[in-house]
Structure 1
Amino acid sequence: MNPRAARIGRRPRWWSELLLIAVVYAAYSGGRLLVRGDTQTAVDHGLAILRIEKLLYLNAEHPLNRLFTATPALGIPADFAYASLHYLVTPAVLVWLFHRRPARYRAARTWLMTSTLLGLVGFTLLPTCPPRLLDASHGFVDTMAQFSSYGWWGAEASAPRGMGAMTNQYAAMPSLHVGWALWCGVMLWRYGRTPASKALGAAYPLLTVIVVMGTANHYFLDAVAGAAVMGFGLLLTAPATRLVDRIRDRLRPVVGGGRSPLVSGGCETSAGERFPGQRSSPSSADDTPAPAR
């Protein structure tokens, strides 16, 4: 069997996958903190996005934000969804793929990780102030601050109270809330076998787009950029997988020509010499049969 085909069809070790995902997520979270830019630059970028949206009649954030602000029955669940589903649904889909679709898992995981790292590049190149942090004169209300008494978050993004310094609030472009939700939706639609799973796959990304705009955490163009990042990540999945395989093959000890490795580590004995404790072979030409007893 082709070694690459064997790797694709084999389920990875769960502990190595857990370690890999933890390392990538730690790098992503740490990278978000390290790329904090100038606040005024982030505000300027946010206002520029808002102007472009108004010019193109894409400004859906204002009506949604007003609706969520005036209707706690919508705003509070939306805040809970923004603060939690991002970190619950994505790992759940990864675990589901690992157990139910092992042949598809590796490519799906590589797609997600590659896209996430591309998102980090976006945060670096274009720090962006979310709508909720713009001056109140621009007409946005931070629903998570307004309804913070109902959840674990405070007035600083979706981080737990007192931990706002642990997140970069100016990493709005692209929206990986939308990007990860799109990835989950594609996985559920493509590999789910029931109508309910396919319906969830279609609804989850759309619901996420509405939530991130209604809570004033992202602009519509942030959501578009999140989808674009996932598209680029998908294109890079196959090359990234081949690169990892190539590196892994080079690091693996080479056994030439398909021969079995020498147990002696390359040391050889001279004719008639035996390793200590080695039994004589009756078929050997140099050995004489033992006398019968």
Structure 2
Amino acid sequence: MQPPQHATRPRWWTELPLIALVYGAYTAGRLIVRGNEPLAVEHGLSILRIEKALHLNAEHPLNRLFTHTPALGIPADFIYGSLHYLVTPAVLIWLFHRRPTRYRAARGWLMTSTLLGLIGFTFLPTCPPRLLPAVHGFTDTMAQYSSYGWWGGEASAPRGMGGMTNQFAAMPSLHVGWALWCGVMLWRFGGSRMTKTVAVAYPLTITFVVMGTANHYLLDAVAGAAVMGLGLLLSKPLMRLAERVRTRFAPVSSSTRASIVSAGCETSAGERIPGQRTSSDTPAEADDSTASTAR
């Protein structure tokens, strides 16, 4: 039996409210954490202490490399400031048009993970390395190379629009999480060897970039991957719940009503309506039946 239309071809007008939901959650979280700078700084320093105890220190050497090498730092800033907002929607649109039967599950995974990340931003505001006091040895490469791009000293936001961003949304890193999602989608559904190469290179590049530009800690990147894993586990039961709710409150179509016999009364197994032909009836049998009826 052919699957229902809603299961095979999603509609753009049903997708836009979901995007609005995510943006509304992000905006609410940004307003909630406003004014929590001391707490965010303390959380950032706690991450540094944990990494020191674990003998992890990838951020400092990468940040020094990007700071002292403009040929690496400037492209890294452009990558950080743009690809996060371009590649992920592009992959979503590609799935929407080329893999419609896979799109709904992929979108559900991405949205569930994003909402989990927004919960982390709201209840665990974390100061990124670039906003820590200078004594901790980090340089904000976005501010250092701001004359080359559209951004200023407030992450990747265009100049004068820093108030639209959450400066303390470091834990977990959705830059890394979304890049990992893109990599999985390209690997599974891309097909070509080039696509699979990009699928591996893109999330690795984003991971190095977010640390080298001092926008995230190593543990932020790890948490971003963990959030995507948890989102994958939760997305399927949440989608089943959403589908039950949709089915419960969806109006019954005319075609569905027409398939009901005698206001819900159906024939028993093997019972036939008088004069009804079955697919097994041959023309000869049909003629005999007609003749018998006439006699």
Q: Select which of 162, 181, 189 maps to 1:183.
A: 181
- For residues 188-213 of structure 1, the C-alpha deviation after alignment (integer angstroms, 9 at most, x for no partner) is 01111100011100111000000000
Q: Secondary structure at the match of 2:158?
A: coil
**21-30 or 233-242: bigger deviation:** 21-30
- Aligned length in residues: 259
Contact map agreement 2:78 2:149 (CA 8 A) in 1: yes
Instruction: Tell me, yes or no, if structure 1 residue 171 matches structure 2 residue 184.
Output: no
Taking the aligned partners of 2:81 and 2:217, their CA distance within structure 1 comes to 17
Taking the aligned partners of 1:8 and 1:193, their CA distance within structure 2 comes to 26
Instruction: Tell me, yes or no, if structure 1 residue 31 matches structure 2 residue 8.
Output: no
Instruction: Tell me, yes or no, if structure 1 residue 250 matches structure 2 residue 248.
Output: yes
Paired-residue identity, %: 69
Taking the aligned partners of 1:23 and 1:243, their CA distance within structure 2 comes to 20
Q: Secondary structure at the match of 1:89?
A: helix
Taking the aligned partners of 1:46 and 1:240, their CA distance within structure 2 comes to 32
Q: Select which of 152, 155, 161 maps to 1:154.
A: 152
Instruction: Tell me, yes or no, if structure 1 residue 82 matches structure 2 residue 80.
Output: yes
Tell me the TM-score normalized by structure 1.
0.84
Q: Select which of 130, 133, 139 maps to 1:132.
A: 130
Q: Select which of 112, 116, 119 maps to 2:114.
A: 116
Residue 120 of structure 1 and its aligned partner are, at CA, apart by 0.8
Instruction: Tell me, yes or no, if structure 1 residue 208 matches structure 2 residue 206.
Output: yes
Amino acid at match of 1:50: L
Contact map agreement 1:76 1:150 (CA 8 A) in 2: yes
Residue 32 of structure 1 and its aligned partner are, at CA, apart by 3.3
Residue 226 of structure 1 and its aligned partner are, at CA, apart by 0.5
**Aligned alpha-carbon RMSD (Å):** 2.0
Equivalent residue number for residue 220 of structure 1: 218
Contact map agreement 2:142 2:213 (CA 8 A) in 1: yes
Residue 114 of structure 1 and its aligned partner are, at CA, apart by 0.6
Amino acid at match of 1:155: G
Equivalent residue number for residue 71 of structure 2: 73
Residue 255 of structure 1 and its aligned partner are, at CA, apart by 7.1
Equivalent residue number for residue 91 of structure 1: 89
Q: Secondary structure at the match of 2:156?
A: coil
Instruction: Tell me, yes or no, if structure 1 residue 60 matches structure 2 residue 58.
Output: yes
Residue 29 of structure 1 and its aligned partner are, at CA, apart by 3.0
What 5-or-longer segments of structure 1 have no aligned partner? Answer: 263-293
